[in-house]
Amino acid sequence: MAKICSLSYIKRHVIKLTLFIVILCLVLEYLYIMEKFSGTFRVGKVSKDISESLLSSSLTVSTHENTSLLKSEESPIHFFPTQGFTNTHSILKKPTATVFPPAASSSNMHHSSKIYLNCSTWRKPLHNVSALSSQITLAPDRFLYPGLIWGPNNQVIGLFQSIYVAIRLNRTLVVPLFQTHNTQGKIQNVPDYQRIDVDHLCSFVSCISIEDFRKKCSGSMDVVFQAMPSKMRDVKKFQRDTQMHIIMKEEHKLSDNFVGNSLQISASENWLPSNQQVIRSTFNTTAPCALFANAFKPLTLTSMGQIAIPLDKNYTKVRQIKDDRLYMAIVDSVRRPECITQLADAYIDANIGTDEFVAVHWRYDKNDWLRVFRGLKKYELCEVVTNITPEDVARAIINNLPLLHDKNEMHSQNISAAVSVYIATPPSLKEFKLEIFNHLENLDPRIKRVSLDLDVYLSKSVFNKCWNSTGWVSLPDILSLIEMEIMRKSKYFFYSYESTWSENIRPLRWKRSEGKIQRLFEASILDLSKTVMKKRKKRN
């Protein structure tokens, strides 16, 4: 691993990169010449100004499109948008405010301490989601299928973004398939009810199941909306998932290369402004059955630094809801399944016994986590993560836990009582976690580790037979989902910066206090540990 952090490693990569760029330029030059001669192969120009490019680029809609629900076998497939543009202000804002104006809506906590022992909440409800009445009603004859990608929490973010696009385009949301994490070996599909509370989502926004989608669209999709440049391979996966056909009239254009004349954006770039006019003109088609391919983070909207709050019950004019506000209601609408929240409650009751506990997410498993970073950023993060010891992490927690220092916090607590700490890490960091616990307990005798591992607890739990008998695909998924709920319910949360797992919990951690909505305590464990590590190195 030290090799990854070394500068010579970076230098080698810079040389490789330079070579690559030179070759790429030559290829592009060649293509450009080809285009001049043949006029068929288009490489879209990258525009610096979004609004300008949107106004000037007439996004092509084929005149042959068939908008009837029963489509003819010849209906061609269209890709939207057909030209790319970049966004120059996609830099994420740092979280700042912690107090928000009150909203007159239901509590954010699923407070049901009731434990069902009969597996009823584990079974897929025979839901007829289209029959649920939802807060936001969308057109019942147009649909958007979210084509989700990558890890479980990337899929959740992709779902947030798909819901937003579905609402702004006024298309009923198809509740999609999810998939397991690639660290679990072969990627398997995961049905909706094993990842999210489907009823909760569909009481917020109109949805239908994949089965109903297939029926209503007569087994085929009309149009592909690209969230990212889409390859034939990606589209084929979504065809298999939905068991629906996408008729490829121009199949030769969709080899396993990026779609010939499609988006000129890089993967995971936030290129799509949230403005509803822009979204409607970008994906301007009346074709009923749409695939939103490779949904991750195309939108400039993000949940970072925000709080997820449902809409007031009396909201009617959806078009007037501000983009950020709508997005926060969307984040609130995507929750873990009810059986998962119940199991988290049961675990907390049995092993912690109070809501006033500390939760820590340490994501920094170098092999998996560092994979997504490149260049100097990777080098810097690698340096930091490699140099931080379990003792640094323990000191960071103790130095920054208000409960141990803040007089007001102490007053509301029993100072001599134990403070329970739960630590969530990827399985590969189990040793690191145990060492943090040892240091925590040595440094402050009030600290008490939550020692019964969740997997051990689960293996003995009565629920064991529930997920076994109701077709749950992945036990690691169950563990991860329950841990997310434990983090959400904690009073003090030390989260991992640059982790979508942490990112998807933070907006849900708030409480109502004196008529105001207040974020629960949170702090970046990497930043705090880095400070401790730097001080230690200075002393030595």
130 binds ligand NAG (CB under 6 A): yes
Query: Which residue number, 4 or 247, has a Cβ lying nearer to ligand NAG?
Result: 247
d(CA 116, CA 529): 40
d(CA 381, CA 384): 5
Residues 466-525 within binding reach of ligand NAG (CB under 6 A) = 468
Question: Would you tell me how many other CB atoms lie within 10 Å of the CB of residue 17?
Answer: 12
Cβ-contact 401, 419 below 8 angstroms: yes
How many residues of this chain bind ligand NAG (CB under 6 A)? 30
Report the nearest approach of Mg ion to the CB of residue 500 (Å).
Answer: 4
Report the nearest approach of ligand NAG to the CB of residue 239 (Å).
Answer: 20
d(CA 230, CA 245): 16
Residue 87 site contact among ligand NAG, Mg ion, none (CB < 5 to 8 Å, cut-off depends on kind): none
63 binds ligand NAG (CB under 6 A): no
Q: Which of 53, 71, 82, 440 binds ligand NAG (CB under 6 A)?
A: 71
268 binds ligand NAG (CB under 6 A): no
CB crowding 205-232: b at 16 or more within 10 Å, else e: bbbbbbebbbebbbebbbbbbbbbbbbb
Q: Which of 294, 474, 500, 504 binds Mg ion (CB under 5 A)?
A: 500
Report the nearest approach of ligand NAG to the CB of residue 129 (Å).
Answer: 8
Residue 264 site contact among Mg ion, ligand NAG, none (CB < 5 to 8 Å, cut-off depends on kind): none
Cβ-contact 365, 428 below 8 angstroms: yes
Residue 170 site contact among Mg ion, ligand NAG, none (CB < 5 to 8 Å, cut-off depends on kind): ligand NAG
Q: Which range in 89-97, 124-132, 352-360, 500-508 contacts ligand NAG by CB under 6 A? A: 124-132
The terminus-to-terminus CA distance of the chain in angstroms comes to 24
How many residues of this chain bind Mg ion (CB under 5 A)? 2
- Structure token pair of residue 481: 């989902």
Residue 182 site contact among Mg ion, ligand NAG, none (CB < 5 to 8 Å, cut-off depends on kind): none
Residue 417 site contact among ligand NAG, Mg ion, none (CB < 5 to 8 Å, cut-off depends on kind): ligand NAG
d(CA 44, CA 51): 16
Site map (CB under 6 A) of ligand NAG, residues 390-419, x = contact:
------------------------x-xx--
Cβ-contact 69, 75 below 8 angstroms: no
Q: Which of 47, 62, 66, 387 binds ligand NAG (CB under 6 A)?
A: 66
- DSSP letter, residue 483: H
Rg of the chain in Å (alpha carbons): 25
Question: Would you tell me how many other CB atoms lie within 10 Å of the CB of residue 511?
Answer: 13
Report the nearest approach of ligand NAG to the CB of residue 76 (Å).
Answer: 11
Cβ-contact 361, 369 below 8 angstroms: no
Q: Which range in 17-25, 132-140, 380-388, 481-489 contacts ligand NAG by CB under 6 A? A: 132-140
**CA distance readout (Å), 395 to 39, 151, 431, 539:** 64, 31, 17, 15
Q: Which of 48, 124, 465, 516 binds ligand NAG (CB under 6 A)?
A: 465
Q: Which of 18, 40, 51, 72 binds ligand NAG (CB under 6 A)?
A: 72
- Structure token pair of residue 389: 């010891």
What secondary structure does DSSP assign to 122-150, as a single string? TSPP---GGGS--SB---TT-EEEEEE-S
C-alpha 107, offset from chain centre: 22
68 binds ligand NAG (CB under 6 A): yes
**List of residues contacting Mg ion (CB under 5 A):** 151, 500
**List of residues contacting ligand NAG (CB under 6 A):** 66, 68, 70-72, 104, 116, 118, 120, 128, 130-131, 136-139, 167, 170, 280-281, 284, 312, 314, 318, 414, 416-417, 464-465, 468
